[in-house]
Amino acid sequence: MKKIAKAWFCRFLVLIFLFCAGTATCVSAATDSIQASADTYFALTKEKQTAGKAAQTISAKAPLPYAIEYPVIGNEVIDQKIMETVKQIQTAYEKLYAKEAEEATRNHLRPKEIAALYVSYESYLTEDGIYSVVFHGSYGKADSSLFFTKYKALLFDLNTGETLSWEDVFRPSYKEKASAYAISYFTGQEEYQNRIFGDPAVTLGSESGLFDTFALTDTSVIFYFDKYAILPASCGAPTLSVPRETFSGSYLTDPEEILVPKQPDETETKAEGRTIDPNKPMVALTFDDGPSPAATNRILDTLEKYGVVATFFDVGYRVERYPEVTKRERALGCEIGSHSYDHKDFKTLSAAQIKADHAKTNAVFEKTIGKTPTLFRPPYGNYNETVRLNSPYSLVLWSVDTLDWKSRNAQSILSSISSEGNLDGKVILMHGIYDSTAKAVEQLVPSLLEQGYQLVTVSELIQYHLNETPQKNKVYHYGHFQP
């Protein structure tokens, strides 16, 4: 954010607007006059000050009188940052004024008459607590023939007090979407279409640097363009409100597509030649809580015997203990998902703890099988928004619960599955650490094959049954895994 603030600081200039009630005499530095002009100026954005309470600071003191309006939101950290920004804006104008005065003296000219500095703002607060403040500055001279308007936008997370930049809100792809929208909008408006500087595709291109200054509302993203940035001065400093849906897939909170290679990339996988017929019924067996040298290997023996695959949601600390078992799962073409490092209830963890657990578990997988999982099954199936947003995987639940951990009985596991009826598209939950489960699998696999089911991994099921690439931060649950 520092960088952006600095860039703005440099780019941030001025607008001259004379809100004179009557004649040129209104440039008087008298407080009354400043106050009257300020009231007019502040009124321009009143309706767009939708969050926070407006506060003012007004001074009639030479050489640069000022009238500044800024919001107070009641969050100490954020209010402090807003005040710092106000101070920066003021200093920038003072420097500008001093420079102009110096130049005038050097050229033996009378310093240009300055009316005053006016600063006001728009503010918005979204449902998820993102607070946008956009300052407008105006540098009013007696001679109104020359004027500039620039904007300075600030974004805050009201939940944490953090200052946000576009990288905290969007993926880079948002700029392409904003650019496409802006090009179509400005070239489609009669008042703008033939007046845009240069080639609109370049001037309004995604690389133009124009799309860093924005405010977020619940329904739109508003972009602010400085005067002269894209259009002649007579067009003012335009804003562009783009519907939020335009950016679907570009918000950091949106599910992200994970690219899953259609062909397993390991040459040693025995299942390499396996083909999946999307039109034939398919089912995914999943085994949690392993690996275990006895039960998991017995399950793997069955899978190997029939040349089929399953998905193992392995626990990090057990992978460290029994790496050979996880390596064998991989070698047989099975999918390996994460089931956390040591099976904590993720609903009780903070965002930082969740991230740390994933980092630790990923390192174990990276070391053991040379890659990190695409899928995560939260222990106990427990998750909330914090878990979802801080888990850089597809979150995978199930649609058939065999309760194998409870019954520890092969027959009751088998009957819980057969009582489900049509298994096409279903994900069956079992555990890879019980001998009773391994025993059930010895009958289950040939039985499913006889019934015409293809045994696929969970990623394959999402790809071929749901017709989508597994998405990051998306929860695949009971409702997804149905015929």
* Stretch touching Zn ion by CB under 5 A, among 36-44, 118-126, 283-291, 300-308: 283-291
Among 136, 339, 358, 431, the one annotated catalytic: 431
Q: Which is nearer to Zn ion, 20 or 395 (CB)?
A: 395
- Pick out residues in 361-390 that bind Zn ion (CB under 5 A): 379
* Stretch touching Zn ion by CB under 5 A, among 47-55, 144-152, 284-292, 459-467: 284-292
Q: Which residues contact 195 (CB under 8 A, 6 or more apart)?
A: 231, 232, 235
For residue 230, which of 188, 197, 182 has the smallest C-alpha distance?
Answer: 197
Give one DSSP letter per residue of 341-365, joined into a string.
SS---GGGS-HHHHHHHHHHHHHHH
Strand 471-472 and strand 335-338: the pairing is unpaired
How far apart are CB 278 and Zn ion at their closest, in Å? 30
Q: Which is nearer to Zn ion, 154 or 397 (CB)?
A: 397
**Dihedral sign from CA coordinates of 462, 465, 469, 471:** negative
Would you state the structure tokens that stand for residue 274, as one six-digit string?
A: 């396996």
| 69 counts as binding Zn ion under rule CB under 5 A | no
Tracing tokens 């001679």 back to the chain, one arrives at 143
How far apart are CB 289 and Zn ion at their closest, in Å? 4
Helix axes 295-306, 323-331, angle to 10 degrees: 10
Q: Which is nearer to Zn ion, 264 or 337 (CB)?
A: 337
How far apart are CB 7 and Zn ion at their closest, in Å? 48
| 357 counts as binding Zn ion under rule CB under 5 A | no
* CB neighbours of residue 280 within 10 Å: 11
| 289 counts as binding Zn ion under rule CB under 5 A | yes
**Dihedral sign from CA coordinates of 318, 319, 321, 324:** positive
Give me the residue whose beta carbon is nearest to Zn ion: 288
Q: Which is nearer to Zn ion, 226 or 289 (CB)?
A: 289
How far apart are CB 380 and Zn ion at their closest, in Å? 7
Instruction: Please report, for residues 273, 291, 300, the alpha-carbon distance to residue 434 in angstroms, rounded to integers and kept in the order given.
Output: 30, 11, 13
Number of residues that bind Zn ion (CB under 5 A): 3
Would you state the structure tokens that stand for residue 373, as one six-digit string?
A: 């999982």
Would you state the structure tokens that stand for residue 328, as one six-digit string?
A: 């064998």
| Catalytic residue check, 431 | yes
Rg (CA), the chain: 31
Q: Which is nearer to Zn ion, 80 or 382 (CB)?
A: 382
How far apart are CB 311 and Zn ion at their closest, in Å? 13
Contact (Cβ atoms closer than 8 angstroms) between residue 51 and residue 131 = yes
Distance CA 62, CA 99 (A): 15
How far apart are CB 377 and Zn ion at their closest, in Å? 7
* Stretch touching Zn ion by CB under 5 A, among 149-157, 282-290, 319-327, 443-451: 282-290
Tracing tokens 């370049």 back to the chain, one arrives at 202
Among 79, 226, 288, 314, the one annotated catalytic: 288
Q: Which is nearer to Zn ion, 288 or 357 (CB)?
A: 288
Q: Which residues contact 347 (CB under 8 A, 6 or more apart)?
A: 382, 383, 384, 387
Contact (Cβ atoms closer than 8 angstroms) between residue 344 and residue 379 = yes
| Catalytic residue check, 288 | yes
Q: Which is nearer to Zn ion, 289 or 460 (CB)?
A: 289
* Stretch touching Zn ion by CB under 5 A, among 12-20, 195-203, 289-297, 456-464: 289-297
Distance CA 133, CA 155 (A): 6
* Stretch touching Zn ion by CB under 5 A, among 93-101, 121-129, 281-289, 301-309: 281-289
- Pick out residues in 24-53 that bind Zn ion (CB under 5 A): none
For residue 295, which of 410, 399, 376 has the smallest C-alpha distance?
Answer: 410
- Name the amino acid, one letter, at 230: I
- Out of 79, 288, 304, 460, point to the residue binding Zn ion (CB under 5 A): 288
How far apart are CB 131 and Zn ion at their closest, in Å? 39
Distance CA 415, CA 428 (A): 13
Q: Which is nearer to Zn ion, 227 or 318 (CB)?
A: 318
How far apart are CB 389 and Zn ion at their closest, in Å? 21
Would you state the structure tokens that stand for residue 265, as one six-digit string?
A: 């990339």
Could you give the residue numbers annotated as active site? 288, 431
* Interface contacts to Zn ion, rule CB under 5 A: 288-289, 379
